[in-house]
Structure 1
Amino acid sequence: MTSTRRQFLSLTGAAASTVVLAPLAAHAQTPTVEEVLHDPDAPVMGNPQGDVTLVEYFDYQCGYCKSMHPVVRDVVKADGNVRLVMKDWPIFGRGSQRAAELALGTVALGHYPAAVDALMATRGRLNDASIKAALKDIVPVEAANNSFYADRRKWERLLSRNDQQATALGFRGTPSFVIGQVLYPGAIDRDTLISAIRAARAA
């Protein structure tokens, strides 16, 4: 994939991020396009062979992530040629971390898209009980937990990479997107999402 660093780091006029994090570290190493778009461990939804990659850094307790999720899902489905790469970035505490772990645990069980949909549909703060309730019709929590811990090192390294990438890219909250090779920090509306996919396809 050919791209200049300037192209990859170009910013849009998207909405402000939803939560302020630590300032971008001056020493943070900017990830490569390949590292962001094609991390081999990051779950892929949509069309795995799609001609445009949409990366979302998200948190299951982020209200903006939850409200955007049906939009992202519907736009990706309607387009039919978008790779949707979901990157858990659990920045809202233990509930977010636990939800991310159990969702990743469903990958090997074949239930990841349904688990994401269910967790994104929750309301309020997440805890063990609400996470279990959300997943009860999809997969037993014990099975997801065992699956996560069976590949614990892989998933923990992935979560660490997600955090390092988001910070290095200058994202300060969730949701944040990389669409093609353009950064969109913060929530965006349906029309902006569709236009961004079209622009990435034409680039």
Structure 2
Amino acid sequence: MRRIAVLALVLSLFGAATAPARAEMAPDQKREIERIVRDYILANPEVVEKALMALDAKRQQEQAAAQARAVHEMRDTILNSAHQAVVGNPEGKVTLVEFFDYNCGYCKRALPDLMALIQSNPDLRVVMKEFPILSEGSVEAARISVAVKEQTPKRYLEFHRELLGRPGQADRAKALQVARDLGLDAKALERAAKDKAVDENLIEVQQLAHALGIGGTPSYVVGDELVFGAVGFDQLQEKIAAERKACAGETAC
């Protein structure tokens, strides 16, 4: 059934592509061309498979190119927005951007990789983009996390590691408990979580993610490249090294 559907699609595309020429043909000529195309495809079905694979590869390349253009066009907001926390070396030459959700299991799995990257790359600047998409609890936890960034930015990474590393679902109550456990002012954070700055942070990240085609976490930006999923230390380290090399002689990437 799938082969018949594909055949019908190919024939319809052939018909559309050759419509002007076909309009000038006699009915028997049109039928003969259609028969030749049909017989060839039925005798060589792998041609259809190869064509579909080539079409899929072309679309992926076009999507990657469009995403790279979007990253380049919005580079300043992605790398230098005042809304998001910066960890690692704030003056680092190479920047890694992470979109994450506190209830994302893959983000939890990727946390040790992030810490290892910071440890292994003294010139690495990491921009943390709160992208709570999995639940209302994710949004609540993100608001407290952004409040930590606004109130005590030097404690942000400590808070981030503790909240992301704890088992169970993250929400407002859990985020506030983590804050109390770390000796932070939970009441002040609860008030700060209602501030306009928190809304601006989360809205900006949502808009960026939409523009870049990011629909899941963790997702990363290195240079003009988007990296999707918990790809591991080695792959991210390779991309960081490539970006460092590409930026040789520049003051920042």
Alignment of 1:1-80 (within 5 A): 9-10=67-68, 32-80=74-122
Alpha-carbon distance between aligned partners in 1 of 2:138 and 2:171, rounded to the nearest angstrom? 9
Is 1:160 the counterpart of 2:203 in the alignment? yes
Alignment of 1:93-172 (within 5 A): 93-107=135-149, 108-109=151-152, 110-138=154-182, 139-149=184-194, 152-172=195-215
Amino acid at match of 2:138: S
Q: Alpha carbon RMSD of aligned pairs, Å?
A: 2.3
Change beyond 3 A, Cα 1:10–1:95: same
Alpha-carbon distance between aligned partners in 1 of 2:207 and 2:111, rounded to the nearest angstrom? 23
TM-score (norm 2): 0.66
Secondary structure at the residue paired with 1:197?
Answer: helix
Change beyond 3 A, Cα 1:100–1:31: farther
Please list the CA deviations of residues 22-64 of structure 1 after superposition, one character each: whole Å capped at 9, or x if unmatched: xxxxxx9995111111112211001011111100000000000
User: What percent of counterpart residues are identical?
Assistant: 32
Please list the CA deviations of residues 73-118 of structure 1 after superposition, one character each: whole Å capped at 9, or x if unmatched: 2211221111100000000122111111111111222421111011
Secondary structure at the residue paired with 1:54?
Answer: strand
- Ranked by relative contact order (alpha carbons within 8 Å, sequence separation 6 or more), the top structure is 1
Secondary structure at the residue paired with 1:106?
Answer: helix
Equivalenced residue count is 180
Structure 1 stretch displaced more, 153-162 or 102-111: 102-111
Q: Contact conserved, 2:95 with 2:222, CA < 8 A, in 1?
A: yes
Counterpart of 2:227 in structure 1 is 184
Gaps of 5+ in 2: 1-63, 247-253
TM-score (norm 1): 0.81
Secondary structure at the residue paired with 1:125?
Answer: coil
